[in-house]
Amino acid sequence: MIERIKNKDRENGLKEIYSKYRNEFVMWAVRHHSCTMEEAKDVFQQSVIIFYENIIYDKVSEITTKVKTYLFSIGKNKLLELMREKSKHQSQLNEMALVNGEIYYDADSDEYEDKLKIVKACMEKLGDPCKSILEQYYYHKKSMKEISEFLDYKNSDTVKNLKYKCLHRLKQICKSGNTFNEHLL
Amino acid sequence: MKKDQDNIDLIEQYLEGKLDKESMSKVEEHLETDKGFAEQFKTYKFLMDGIKYSGRKELHKSIREWDKELSEIPEETTPLISIKNKRWYYMAASILFFLVVSLVLYSNLNFGYDRLVADYYTRYDHYTNTKRSEKSEISEIEKIIGYYEYGEYQDVINKIIGLDESQKSDATDFILANVYQETGKYDDAIIIYSKVIISGNSPYENASKWYMALCYLSLNQPEQAIPVLQELENLKSSYSIKAKKLLQDLDS
């Protein structure tokens, strides 16, 4: 499954995992963590994202337990975070989630996240193909070759040049918004 | 431009920990001594973090779409196909015939639980209607019960979901589960009945068990329903006799 998600079948692989375990996770979360169904669903969605990021950022090369056990471990940590947040004992979510003794995820602080929202807005302005190229490269960790095949470009050099131009354009768009520099500081 | 590109590559490799120890030290030294490079580093790190954030949000959006697909009951659609070739027509007709026969067989196989559920299921209608003085306003729970009694289930769902956490209780959970069961959303109903049961000492605990068992039967999962019914049978409640009888019917 890890190889499948890492390679070309990310969407279907993740969708399969989500569909297979959603109900079970939600029922388990509602039963054992006194959260609402909507909260449990949201936690599960975040857990699937963390699961995916741990795979693509090579934080986990192989899962020794079952996918379900691993996913539920992430979910359990996220539920505990939610509970802590709800009871206001902890103001920051900027902590590491421990799964099977290894560190996997560092959530962005709320303040920093607010700043990142500006870049996201600029990404929307940037549009495709730049948005896709940058997200595929920086978030999904796709190689230039994979991106060129995926977006039907001649070769990886074309995409590489385009990537620099897109990054430069993104910077220009963000700077033109005036607030960029003040948020950066 | 070339230098700019080289710097971006260097920053990327540094941030991903792909540089060797010596190169890492050089970058760090450079960051301390070259103000321009330090600014560039800060800018691109911020942009890269922003791109990752954007990618994560897009993925979350896709997952929410998958979630909608899961929650919605798929509607049967009949595609309009022009039949150009009779051979395809006969093939399609054969497949359709096969599907219909399978469906009939399948329905017959599972008909027993549908019939049993129909025999035993009656909508829960024992909510206490608290009388109020003419001047007092109708409370939210009274409005919800009113909608429920008139079968306006979407209004019930909207009202309950819109309640503050402080206004929610096992009663509102139980009503919501009833509505899900009435509208055929058995999975959702089971989740909420479980919540009421687990909350402990709820006046709706036994009723939740009874209705949850019926939901399992509606989903053709007698192996889940039976332990719940056995539990009810052993309790002194108005549901014990019904549970006992239903267990006997299931056994026969």
Mutation site, A134, A159, A176, interface B, largest B CB count within 10 A: A134
Measured between CA atoms, the residue of chain B closest to residue A124 is B54
The DSSP 8-state label assigned to residue A97 in this structure reads E
Q: Shortest Cα distance from A65 to chain B (angstroms)?
A: 24
Interface of B with A in 118-177 (CB under 8 A): none
Contacts of A113 in chain B (CB under 8 A): 53
Question: Over the stretch B86-116, which tens digit does the pLDDT of each residue have?
Answer: 566 677 777 887 787 676 555 555 556 777 8
- Whole-number pLDDT of residue B175: 92
Taking contacts as CB-CB distances below 8 angstroms, the residues of chain A near B57 are 120
Whole-angstrom distance, CA of residue B81 vs CA of residue B56? 40
One-letter amino acid for residue A92 of the chain: Q
For residue B29, pLDDT beyond 50? yes
For B191, the closest of A37, A117, A135 (CB atoms) is: A37
Between residues B57 and A150, the one the model is more confident about: B57
- Grade residue A115 by pLDDT with cuts at 50, 70 and 90: confident
Helix (DSSP H) and strand (DSSP E) numbers for chain B: 11, 0
Q: For the segment A119-149, what is each residue's pLDDT rounded down to a tens digit?
A: 888 888 888 889 999 998 998 888 888 888 8
Residues of B in contact with A112 (CB under 8 A): 49
pTM over 0.80, yes/no:
no
A133: closest chain B residue by CA? B51
Q: Closest-CA residue in chain A for B9? A: A164
Long-range contacts, A62-69 (Cβ 8 Å, 24+) = A62/A2, A63/A2, A64/A100, A65/A100, A67/A1, A67/A17, A68/A21, A68/A24
Q: What is the total residue count of chain B? A: 252
The nearest alpha carbon in chain B to A47 belongs to B60
Q: What is the pLDDT of residue B131?
A: 43
Q: Could you say which of A26, A37, A135 has the minimum Cβ distance to residue B51?
A: A135
Top-ranked range on mean pLDDT: pick from A13-17, B9-13, B210-214: B210-214
The arithmetic mean of pLDDT across residues B16-29, rounded, is 84
- Exposed, middle or buried by CB within 10 Å (0-12, 13-18, 19+), for A117? middle
